[in-house]
């Protein structure tokens, strides 16, 4: 009896993942990379280096940090450390996604390879759709989407580089900002517990405050503070629920 877990082949689901390039998350990311491309063009970074950064670093905020480090005169080691620390934030996304796509037969090297493609857009897309994919084909599905997303953005950056150098900074900034806005909206709409809403609200409110107080650590403190306060609030809610029960 077909239980829905053997429908299609790995190739079929890889192609299904590739078609995700036409989804809203992918479109938002491509617009954001157009903004990033304008930023790099105005900074005078050669197009071949920009294309390489998109493929090698991938995560858009990490790319911005890398470019900022270059413009600030930081040496290679300092830039490497800055980008690495920025990318640590993606580890929880990898930890949440891997159990959803792997099987007992999935090789570790393949999961490590695919973790390179885990960033905000790929994570949101996969977590929203992977449950509709037969488990044994989920790796192929994610690989199709992640690899296509990176390659298309590399080609996009190469194609538009010469046309975006004259973008007004405000236009480039707005395009770049689309991805985090979409990410926040996706988390808010898909949340299933009040603690998630609390963490988002506290983080959003605390962000500007910490930027004014300690701009070097604003995102870190807002994130840790928002998550910690939300966790404490959840514990209180649970205790009250147990007492009433």
Over the stretch 108-144, which tens digit does the pLDDT of each residue have? 999 999 999 998 889 989 988 999 999 999 999 999 9
Buried b (16+ CB within 10 A) or exposed e, 56-79: ebbbbbbbbbbbebbeeebeeeeb
Distances (CA, A) of 48 to 131, 146, 235: 38, 21, 51
Over the stretch 95-117, which tens digit does the pLDDT of each residue have? 999 999 999 999 999 999 999 99
Residue 34 has pLDDT above 60, yes or no: yes
Question: Is residue 5 very low, low, confident or very high in pLDDT (cuts 50, 70, 90)?
Answer: very low
Model pTM score: 0.76
Q: What is the pLDDT of residue 2?
A: 40
Torsion of CA 115, 120, 122, 125, to 10 degrees: 140
Torsion of CA 117, 120, 126, 131, to 10 degrees: 140
Q: Which tokens in the block code for residue 97?
A: 């996604």
Quick one: CA dihedral 116, 94, 181, 84, positive or negative?
A: negative
Q: Which tokens in the block code for residue 170?
A: 């405000």
Average pLDDT, the chain: 83
CB 205 within 8 A of CB 221: no
Q: Which of 14-23, 179-188, 221-230 has the lowest average pLDDT?
A: 179-188
Extract long-range pairs of 161-169: CB within 8 Å, 24+ residues apart.
161/37, 161/40, 161/41, 161/47, 161/50, 162/41, 162/47, 164/34, 164/37, 164/38, 164/41, 165/38, 165/41, 165/42, 167/35, 167/38, 167/42, 169/42
Average pLDDT score over residue span 64-71: 83
């Amino acid at each position: 009896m077909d239980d829905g877990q053997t429908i299609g082949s790995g190739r079929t689901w890889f192609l299904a993942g590739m078609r995700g390039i036409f989804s809203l998350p992918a479109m938002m990311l491509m617009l954001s990379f157009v903004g990033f491309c304008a930023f790099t063009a105005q900074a005078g970074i050669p197009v071949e280096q920009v294309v390489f950064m998109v493929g090698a670093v991938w995560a858009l905020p990490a790319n911005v940090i890398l470019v900022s480090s270059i413009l600030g005169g930081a040496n290679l080691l300092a830039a490497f450390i800055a980008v690495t620390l920025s990318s640590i934030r993606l580890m929880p996304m990898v930890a949440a996604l891997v159990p959803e796509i792997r099987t007992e037969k999935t090789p570790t090297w393949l999961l490590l390879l695919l973790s390179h493609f885990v960033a905000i857009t790929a994570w949101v897309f996969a977590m929203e759709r992977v449950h509709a994919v037969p488990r044994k084909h989920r790796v192929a599905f994610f690989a199709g989407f992640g690899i296509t997303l990176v390659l298309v953005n590399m080609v996009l950056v190469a194609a538009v580089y010469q046309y975006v150098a004259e973008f007004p900074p405000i236009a480039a900034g707005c395009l770049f900002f689309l991805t985090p806005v979409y990410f926040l909206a996706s988390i808010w709409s898909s949340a299933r517990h009040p603690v998630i809403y609390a963490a988002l609200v506290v983080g959003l409110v605390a962000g500007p405050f910490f930027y004014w107080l300690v701009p070097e650590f604003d995102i870190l403190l807002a994130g840790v503070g928002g998550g910690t306060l939300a966790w404490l609030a959840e514990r209180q809610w649970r205790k009250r629920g147990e007492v009433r029960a």
